[in-house]
Amino acid sequence: MKILLTGGAGFIGSHTAVALIENGFEPIIVDDFRNSEPFVIKNIEKIVGKKITSYSSDIGNKEEVKNILQKENPIGVIHFAADKAVNESVVNPMKYYQNNVLNLINFLEVIDIAKINSFVFSSSCTVYGVPDKIPVKETASIKPAFSPYGYTKQVGERILNDFFKSLPSSSLTLLRYFNPIGAHPSGLIGELPIGVPSNLVPYITQTAIGKRKKLTVFGKDYDTKDGTCIRDYIHVVDLANAHVASLKKGLESKDSIKVFNVGTGKGASVLDVITAFEKVSKHDLNYGFGPRRAGDVPKIYSDNTLIKHELDWDAKFSLEDCLEHSWNWEKNLIKFKYKSAKKQD
Ligand code: UFG
């Protein structure tokens, strides 16, 4: 059973490719390797012990994508291909509307939806903006987004909702990720930030290994238990398994539209993450406090009751597991040649 993964060489895509194979599916990766690395395909193959089919193509290239679809005939799609840097989207919004919205439309125009029984979309908890109630449920209102990136996820969800409502025989699942971190326990695949990381965990591991001098904790006067922001950090392997569970459910139900939060249901502060990292890495992290970062929501974590109930999914990895795996990955990176390694600053 072939499943097309757009952006399948990226952080979440690569872990999902592994999870699909472990569940008897055959992933077909389409990735233009703009923000990912060819060695990732080799490493997925090492983990699963078999060859992977992959195409180096831009998902916005209708002709190429059409040919791939005709050749491979997948029964499901997981759509990851998108840009995801919040700050960059503020500086270069058209790149985000082009890659995340226009390319989604182009892609939907060429897929033969009659043959795609289950479509899973990478969305984000960013669609909730500053939620009125925490833990946040899927029924919470969609608030004005803080960034063009956030809008592209809201618009993507909307386009897909309207598109799939008009189709009688395909299922759509929108997965709203909380904060994906961690890496594969093998240490062979993980996150590859380009340039200076804007996310917390890669910044921590790069500081500990010496690529960065010091971590700045953005804000210490939030109305939270220790004054730092609260997030729901989810291990990327747990997140990958949520994609497989969604895909399977979609294949069974054929004409449903579902929305699920994918988080642990637990909040951790920035200081909790640092403490857990110091414990598992046995490193004292060089960090200090700075001003708040514009656009940061003080506190958000998921209500994950729905996904637990409907997909029989649960997060298996702890925060410490996540950080241990992220740390192993950082230490392993020296072994791999990749272009973003040259763009560290
Ligand atoms: N943080 C620091 N120092 C850093 C980096 C981050 O203190 O150097 C803090 C942030 O202020 C925040 C927490 O660590 O409190 C987490 O920040 P991340 O940048 O790792 O993650 P965000 O919660 O900002 O962003 C994530 C995803 C986005 C998504 C957003 C939705 O990366 O794609 O959640 O809230 F849009």
**DSSP string covering 288-320:** EEEPPPTT--SB--B--HHHHHHH-------HH
Q: Is 127 in the pocket of ligand 1 (CB under 6 A)?
A: no
* Residue-level pLDDT at 62: 94
List, by residue number, the catalytic residues.
149
Query: What is the structure's pLDDT at 336?
Result: 86
Alpha carbons 99 and 58: distance in angstroms, whole number? 10
Cβ atoms of 88 and 34 closer than 8 Å: no
Q: Take atom 18 of ligand 1 and give the residue whose Cα is closest.
A: 199
* Ligand 1 pocket residue status of 179, Cβ below 6 Å: yes
Does residue 289 line the site of ligand 1, with CB under 6 A?
no
Cβ atoms 215, 289 nearer than 8 A: no
Q: Which pLDDT does position 341 carry in this prediction? A: 54
Nearest CA owner, ligand 1 atom 24: 296
Question: CA-to-CA distance for 244 and 246, rounded, in angstroms?
Answer: 5
Nearest protein CA to atom 33 of ligand 1, as residue: 84
Using the mean position of ligand 1's atoms as its centre, give its distance from the Cα of residue 223 in Å.
17
Determine the Cα angle at 52 with ends 47 and 55, to 5°: 135
Distance 199 CA to ligand 1 centre (A): 5
The answer to whether the CB of 84 is under 6 A from ligand 1 is yes
What is the distance of C-alpha 231 from the center of its chain?
15
Alpha carbon nearest to ligand 1 atom 10, residue: 218
Tokens for 300, please give them.
């958000």
Please tell me the distance between residue 77's alpha carbon and the centre of ligand 1 in angstroms.
Answer: 28
Verdict on whether the full-model pTM lies above 0.85: yes
The finding on whether 231 has its CB within 6 A of some atom of ligand 1 is yes
E strands present in 111-232? 118-124, 171-177, 179-181, 215-218, 230-231
Give just the sign of the alpha carbon dihedral 95, 100, 102, 106.
Answer: positive
Task: Please name the residue whose Cα sits nearest to atom 29 of ligand 1.
Answer: 126
Nearest CA to ligand 1 atom 20: 199
Per-residue model confidence as pLDDT tens for the chain (345 residues): 999 999 999 999 999 999 999 999 999 999 999 999 999 999 999 999 999 999 999 999 999 999 999 999 999 999 999 999 888 999 999 999 999 999 999 999 998 777 899 999 999 999 998 899 999 999 999 988 889 999 999 999 999 999 999 887 789 999 999 999 999 999 999 999 988 999 999 999 999 999 999 999 999 999 999 999 999 999 999 999 999 999 999 999 878 999 999 999 999 999 999 999 999 999 999 999 999 998 888 999 999 999 999 999 999 999 999 999 999 999 999 888 777 655 544
**What does each C-alpha distance from 216 to 198, 199, 254, 274, 307 come to in angstroms?**
11, 11, 47, 11, 34
Q: By the 8 A CB rule, do 285 and 204 touch?
A: yes
Q: Measured from the CA of 203, which atom of ligand 1 is nearest?
A: 8
Pocket test for ligand 1, best of 88, 143, 218, 274 (most atoms within 8 A of CB): 218
Which pLDDT score is estimated for 114? 75
pLDDT of residue 345: 46
pLDDT of residue 337: 77
Q: What does residue 64 show for φ and ψ, rounded to 5 degrees? A: -60, -45
Does the Cβ of 205 fall within 6 Å of ligand 1?
A: no
- Rounded to the nearest whole angstrom, what is the distance from the C-alpha of residue 188 to the centroid of ligand 1? 24
Atom number of ligand 1 nearest to Cα 85: 33
